Amino acid sequence: MIRAFQEHRCRPVTDLAGVWQFAFLGALDADACDPLTTPTPDRMTIPGAFDATPAYAGKRGLALYRKKIWLGSTGRHQLILDGLHHWARVFVDGRHVLDHIGGFTRTKIAFDREEAGWVEIDVLTDNRISYELCPLHLSYFDWYHFGGLTRSASIEALGQVWIQQLRIRTLDAKAGTFKVEIDWQAAQPISDSKALQILVEEQLLLDQQVNCEGTAGTFTFDLAVPNPKPWSPASPHLYLLQVRLGDDDLIDRMGLRTVEVRGRDLLLNGEPVRLLGFNRHETHPQFGPGLPETLMLADLQQFRDMGCNFVRGSHYPQDIRFLDLCDEMGIMVWNETIGWQQTAEHLNDPRFIDAQLLQIDEMIETAYNRPSVIMWGLLNESESHVEASRPGYERLMGYFRELDPNRPLTFASNHPFDDLCLDLCDVIAINTYPGWYFHTIDEIPEFLGKIEARLDETGQGGKPLIISEIGAGAIPGWRDWNESRWTEQYQSRLLHTTIDYMFRRSARYTGLAIWLFGDARTGDDKALGRPRQFNNKGVVDEYRRPKQAYFTVKELFSSLT
The only residue of 469, 488, 519, 542 in contact with ligand ADA, by rule CB under 6 A = 469
Write the CA distances from 534 to 310, 313, 451, integer angstroms: 23, 18, 29
The only residue of 318, 366, 389, 431 in contact with ligand ADA, by rule CB under 6 A = 431
Does position 537 interact with ligand ADA (CB under 6 A)? The reply is yes
Q: For residue 458, give every residue at least 6 positions away whose Cβ sits within 8 Å of its Cβ, in sequence order, or none.
A: 422
- Of the pair 170, 491, the CB lying nearest ligand ADA is at 491
Closest CA to 78 of 37, 48, 119: 119
Are the C-beta atoms of 119 and 69 separated by less than 8 Å?
yes
- Of the pair 32, 528, the CB lying nearest ligand ADA is at 528
Does position 142 interact with ligand ADA (CB under 6 A)? The reply is yes
Give least dist CB 380 to ligand ADA, A: 5
Size of the site for ligand ADA (CB under 6 A): 8
User: Which residue in the shown chain puts its C-beta closest to ligand ADA?
Assistant: 142
Where in 62-101 is the site for ligand ADA (CB under 6 A)? none
Give least dist CB 513 to ligand ADA, A: 11
Distance CA(208)–CA(206), nearest Å, equals: 7
Q: For residue 143, give every residue at least 6 positions away whose Cβ sits within 8 Å of its Cβ, in sequence order, or none.
A: 281, 283, 315, 340, 520, 521, 522, 523, 535
- Of the pair 232, 431, the CB lying nearest ligand ADA is at 431
Give least dist CB 435 to ligand ADA, A: 13
- Of the pair 149, 428, the CB lying nearest ligand ADA is at 428
- Of the pair 40, 536, the CB lying nearest ligand ADA is at 536
Distance CA(308)–CA(316), nearest Å, equals: 20
Where in 338-397 is the site for ligand ADA (CB under 6 A)? 380-381
Are the C-beta atoms of 190 and 161 separated by less than 8 Å?
yes
- Of the pair 371, 511, the CB lying nearest ligand ADA is at 511
Give least dist CB 469 to ligand ADA, A: 5
Counting Cα atoms < 13 Å in the Cβ hemisphere of 196 gives 21
Site map 295..334 versus ligand ADA, x via CB under 6 A: ----------------------------------------
Name the strands in the sheet holding 95-101, side by side, starting at the edge strand that comes first in the sequence.
42-46, 18-26, 62-71, 117-126, 87-92, 95-101
> Hey, which residues does 277 pair with through a beta bridge?
310, 513
Where in 432-451 is the site for ligand ADA (CB under 6 A)? none
> Hey, which residues does 22 pair with through a beta bridge?
42, 65
Q: For residue 183, give every residue at least 6 positions away whose Cβ sits within 8 Å of its Cβ, in sequence order, or none.
A: 163, 164, 165, 166, 167, 216, 217, 218
Binding site for ligand ADA (CB under 6 A): 142, 380-381, 431, 469, 515, 535, 537
